[in-house]
Structure formats: C-alpha cells, structure tokens
Structure 1
C-alpha cells in the first residue's frame, strides 16, 4: 500500500500541474494572445509542435545530458581520489574510500538508469504540455544533483537528506503522467 499510495499522490500532484498548464494556456489565449502565441503557437520548424517544445529539447534533453556528464565527471574525480583504477566500475573493498567511491558512482549510475525513461516521456509529453514537462526536467536536474550529493557522502541513507532528493521521483512521474495523457488524448479518451 505504501508504494501505491506514494505513486498515486505523485500522479495527482502532477495531474494538477498539467491541468494548470492547460487552463493557463486557455487564459493566455484570451488575455495575452501574443504571449500565448510565443509559448503555444506553432513552431516555425514543425507546425504541429508548440514553440515551447523547444524548452523540452533544451532542458530535458540537453540540460539532462549535461547533468549526467557532470555527475560522470564527479565519478572520475572520485576515482582518482579513492584510487579506483579503470576499467573497474565499482571498488571491491569495504574500506571508507571504497565505500565513498561506490556511493559517488551509484549517484551517477542511478541518473543513467532513469535518463532514457525521462527522455522518452519528455519527448511525447512535451508535445502537449511543453511548459510543465520542461519544468519537470529542471526539477529532475536539480533533484539529481541533490540526490547524488547526499549519496556521495558515503552514507547511502543520506541520498534523501536534501529536501530536493525525493523530487527525482516527482519529476519522473510528472513526465510519465504527461506522456500518458498525450497517449490518452491521441486515443480519444481525454
């Protein structure tokens, strides 16, 4: 019940964000047509995409890629600092340096594990909800750094020490929810 309840709360929260974008776009269409056209008007590159879809490309693809590279650079620095030579992916010892390296590596590896799902859901969900999906992307980047920083302390329990750490899940569920909503809209259910 715990996991189901947590996921349900996250879905409900992110549905709220998507509904807010939908109504915000409708409001701006009447109140500020120029601003509405800037965000949700057709792209000059692909008319079926809103202009704000560019935010999804910049934040969720380019920004997330740079975040993963930055986390990888931290692994490289920890590799030197902790004396873990390539090609070993993880240290085999149980001493403090080995544990610390493994924690830094795990922070990077966990980001790599969720990146493909984030990218796929963002590319689909951003078609209809570009502002929300880009915001979820920014949240994912911020949360990833916080989560990895806590993990890198050498104590895996500290990965959620920052208030931002848990938002790795909020951001993922947000992009999944947007993707699911687009799928349901295409099917004519929504």
Structure 2
C-alpha cells in the first residue's frame, strides 16, 4: 500500500523547528539541570533541593530553578510541537516564524529563571510572552484541524 502526503512549500522548516530545535532546547534544559546537580549536592532520585538546602546553597537554589524551568518546558512542548506541525499544513510561514519566536522566548524565559539574580526565579518573566506565542500556535493548529473536518 502506498500513501502519498502532500505538504505545502516551506513545511520542512516547520518540521525542522518542531522536531529538531524544540527537542534540542529540551536537551539543553536537562543539561543545565545536570550541571547544577553535583555542585548543589542533590543526588538522584531527588529532583529538587529542599527549601532549607536552597536557602543555604545558591547552587541548590539554581538547581531548583533549572529543574522547574525544565519541567515547565516539558509540560508545554509536546502539545506545541504537535500543534505547530498541524498548523504548518495550512499556515507554514506563520507556523515557522511563531515556532522561532516561541523558541527564542523560551530561551529568554529559561535563562532568566536559571541565571538571573532575581528572587523567586522572577527573571523568567522576561520571556513570559512565550505564552501568547504558544496560544497563537495552538490556535492555528485548531483552525487547521477545523478545516480538515
């Protein structure tokens, strides 16, 4: 049985972002967590430092920030990847550029969370606009699915 799938011009960029750049960013999140784990003295299977450990050790605090940024990324990236792939079938240019914007804002969010000196991880707020971009990606994905009905 042969199946032919026709995709619009430019869809390869959408697929590269959704299936290449986003997983790479996830790996970088995990790598940052790994880098802080040893200096923080927080060993597996414990994902986070306790509040007491984080108060005493700046590295334990940074581990918590890195771990939370990574977990939050993992909570959102699968749906965003799928919606981007779906949206790209109808809106390849918009899906591509929204995907690029989402990645850039996620990097700003992550860097602000992990590397900022602001209390409570408030440096993450510099990249909080990723939520708006993510909503647009999801909206385009839903519009495309509606057209496929």
TM-score range normalised by the length of the shorter chain: 0.7 to 0.9
On the 8 A contact 1:133/1:174 being kept in 2, the answer is no
Gaps of 5+ in 1: 1-44
Is residue 65 of structure 1 aligned with residue 7 of structure 2? no
TM score, norm. by length of structure 2: 0.85
Equivalent positions of 1:48-63 (< 5 A) are: 48-63=6-21
CA distance 1:119–1:141, change in 2 (3 Å): same
Is residue 149 of structure 1 aligned with residue 111 of structure 2? yes
On the 8 A contact 1:139/1:167 being kept in 2, the answer is no
Equivalent positions of 1:1-190 (< 5 A) are: 48-92=6-50, 93-95=53-55, 96-152=58-114, 153=116, 155=119, 156-160=121-125, 162=126, 165-187=127-149
**How much is the aligned-residue C-alpha RMSD, in angstroms?**
1.8
Gaps of 5+ in 2: none
Measured in 1, the distance between the counterparts of 2:11 and 2:4 equals 10
Measured in 2, the distance between the counterparts of 1:48 and 1:167 equals 33
On the 8 A contact 1:82/1:101 being kept in 2, the answer is yes
Measured in 2, the distance between the counterparts of 1:106 and 1:46 equals 42
Greater gyration radius: 1
SS in 1 for 2:77: helix
